[in-house]
Amino acid sequence: MKKLLFTLASAVMLLSCGDDQKKDLSAQFDELQKQHDSIEQMHSNFKSTHSAMSQRHDEFKAELAGMTVEDSTMLADVAKHEVLLKKHEAMLEGHDELFAAHKDLKQGFGEKSSVEMKAQIEEMKKTHDQLKTEHSKMEEEHQMMEQEHDEIVKKMLAEDVEPEVEE
């Protein structure tokens, strides 16, 4: 009889601890969702910035196409910028997919076991870190491209690059 009472008491304690643990994990998940929303807003803002920069790049490339450029480093920089912008587009599309996947994770979170909840939270944290790191790197590369673009324009003005004239 003592064993039965002990087993029942142990089961009740485990269940109550499990409920507390699930409440704690749900609170952690809610906090992660707030971070996720913030990161998603940052992502949306960066997509707008990226789109504007891509448009400026295309316009600048079109301008250069009609000019005689003697400094090949200018053309190399423009080509490098194009590669970076395409890489950023691919990364941003991947981020969009991650955001969509995270929204799917919300559904039924409270119904998962504690182990599943912990695993999901850990993966979300890793993903958030990855997103923040990649956004930071893209922002740095955008700043670098803007500086190099300004330098190219200064070189062009200094060299007084003329439009090509067809004869």
pLDDT, residue 67, reads 78
Q: Is 164 inside any structural domain? A: no
Question: How do residues 24-69 score in pLDDT, each as one tens digit?
Answer: 988 998 898 899 999 999 999 999 999 999 999 999 888 888 777 7
Residue type, 77: D
Question: How do residues 83-131 score in pLDDT, each as one tens digit?
Answer: 999 999 999 999 999 888 888 877 888 888 999 989 999 999 999 999 9
Q: Is 22 inside any structural domain? A: no
Q: Is 134 inside any structural domain? A: yes
The domain containing residue 56 runs over which residues? Answer: 38-65+73-102+115-154
Q: Is 161 inside any structural domain? A: no
d(CA 158, CA 156): 5
CA-angle at 43, arms to 42 and 44, nearest 5°: 90
Q: Is 166 inside any structural domain? A: no
Domain count, the chain: 1
